[in-house]
A and B are shown apart, each in its own frame.
Chain A
Amino acid sequence: MPNNSIQVKGLQKSYKKLHVLKGVDFEVEKGSIFALLGSNGAGKTTIVKILTTLLKPDSGTATVNGFDVASKPESVRQSISLTGQFAAVDEILTGRENLIMIAKLRHLKNPRQVADDLLNRFGLTDAAGRGVSTYSGGMRRRLDIAMSLVGKPQLIFLDEPTTGLDPEARIEVWKTVKELAANGTTVFLTTQYLEEAEQLADRIAILHEGRIIANGTLADLKKLFPPAKVEYIEKQPSLEEIFLAIVGKKEEK
């Protein structure tokens, strides 16, 4: 078995005249948290859609858990879960019913038990019998992530998991993501929040104008930052400064 959960080579995708991905390459190691960083419209969601078999690339290859997304989409779907940009929960059903529904669709033996365990784990037991339309944004996101964990997929995609959440709910989601990785699940997350990548990710890739322009650990990225001119100042660059510096440099070319 390869040690990579995701392997992407030369991925290209256009929407009509808009060339969104112009040759994207990266790898995601098994059991790690990988953050794809980029501004709005950089193509992060397009990459997620290709990797989750919702969209076909124009060219290039992508392998997820050892399966090619183009030729083995069923096997890919078997081993992944997607938490999309908007909480994909059923508003009219209750929290428990949502989880049971997903467990049934994953053809698990004991949907109720699976649902109750996840409700417990995500602190939603008290709200389990209430319609999701009454949930707060943070609870909805928690349920959303819980739904993605039904059936214990090896790899989960989180597309901007904290967009639109208040700081408290954001920290809750971060805690959840860290726990996932601690249990061996590979996490692929996209974000436009630099702090989020800094907090969570083992590796960070920066997507800009259709290409990955930097990829490495936070320490690697920090090395890319031009050395300070006056050396005795010890201030470390924040990821935000790194990001803006790299992006700015590329645009000048």
Chain B
Amino acid sequence: METIKNYFFMDMGVMLGRSMRHIFRSMDTIITVTITPIAMMLLFVYVFGGAIQTGTDNYVNYLLPGILLIAIASGIAYTAYRLFMDMQRGIFERFHSMPIARSTALWGHVLTSLLSNAISVVVIILVAFIMGFRSSAGVLSWLAVAGILALFTLALTWIAAIAGLSAKSVDGAGAFSYPLIFLPFISSAFVPTASMPSVVRAFAENQPVTSIVEAIRALLSSQPVGNDIWVALAWCVGIMLVAYIFAMRAYKKRV
């Protein structure tokens, strides 16, 4: 028993290396999680941006937080897909019949999701810099942004785990992410909510994406974050806990 616990981090490393290879060898994954959000950013900044009144002089600054959330939401769809394939192909059973820390077969995917989303977020921010994104934020604010994004990734990753563990088909495993990718559009990510009709506006202002976007935006532009950061954290932690409980339930059913 003890020896196996000691190997937890080693096994985790092997699992992480395995699924990171999956990502870097899949052009489809790279395009969807990094290139598509970048293309969307280019489109909004250079095509639609001129017509959007945000009250800030630099639309990239306004847009970036929402783009990052979309990138993460499309990234975790692949976590669900990879998990589903593992369950389907019997490699999970192989791992589980081996003398390894069993939970790493699942946690490896969670860690991969965190790391791969962090990579695409960094790439997107670098492109945003080239496009004129500027931030006056200090180290602490950047760390806070990283923390919020990591929590957001974890929350969505556990939702993805539910889908990956309980889906009956490949399409089902990925389908859950479409509404998540759509949520930023009905929020303050692209345009201020003030211009929306009252019902839509009420939804937009009270859904998680708006508070997360507002908190990140305020942190990056050195504005006071007010309540948004606490609301954002509450959403992320709340979703994460509930999704984790359901994911674990789905996991126990399968093993």
Contacts and interface: CB of A to CB of B under 8 A. Distances in A.
Given A74-B4, A147-B94, A93 B11 contact: no
A129 B157 CA distance: 32
B26 A105 contact: no
Contact of B98 (A87, A90, A106, A131): A106
A51 to B, nearest CB: 9
B7 interface: yes
A134 interface: no
A92 B93 contact: no
A77 B91 CA distance: 15
B29 to A, nearest CB: 11
Nearest to A105: B100
A81 B100 CA distance: 12
B98 A77 contact: yes
A53 B255 CA distance: 10
Given A54-B255, A74-B4, A105-B11, A90 B18 contact: yes
A38 B90 CA distance: 22
A102 B255 CA distance: 20
A90 B94 CA distance: 11
Given A86-B90, A104-B14, A105-B11, A74 B1 contact: yes
A88 B99 contact: no
Contact of A74 (B22, B90, B93, B99): B99
B252 interface: no
A103 B97 CA distance: 14
A91 B82 CA distance: 12
Interface string B67-95: 00000000000000000000001110111
B91 A53 contact: no
Contacts of B99: 74, 77-78, 106
B interface SS class: helix
Nearest to B93: A84
A214 interface: no
Given A85-B90, A87-B90, A54 B96 contact: yes
Given A88-B91, A107-B10, A80 B97 contact: yes
A89 interface: yes
Contact of B26 (A86, A92, A97): A92
Contacts of A81: 97-98
A92 B25 contact: yes
Contacts of B18: 90, 93, 101
B253 interface: no
A78 B97 CA distance: 9
Nearest to A97: B21
Centre residue among A91, A92, A93 by max chain B CB count within 10 A: A92
B89 A86 contact: yes
A92 B21 contact: yes
B94 A107 contact: no
Interface string B9-31: 01100100110011001100000
Interface string A71-83: 0001001101110
Given A92-B21, A92-B26, A101-B14, A52 B91 contact: no
Given A74-B99, A92-B21, A106-B99, A82 B93 contact: yes
A167 B43 CA distance: 56
Contact of B14 (A52, A82, A92, A105): A105
Interface of A: 49, 52-54, 74, 77-78, 80-82, 84-93, 97, 101-102, 104-107, 131, 147
8 A-B pairs closest in CB distance: A88-B94, A88-B90, A82-B97, A52-B97, A84-B90, A78-B99, A77-B99, A86-B90
Given A89-B91, A101-B18, A147-B94, 6 more contacts: A49-B93, A88-B93, A88-B94, A91-B89, A105-B14, A107-B7
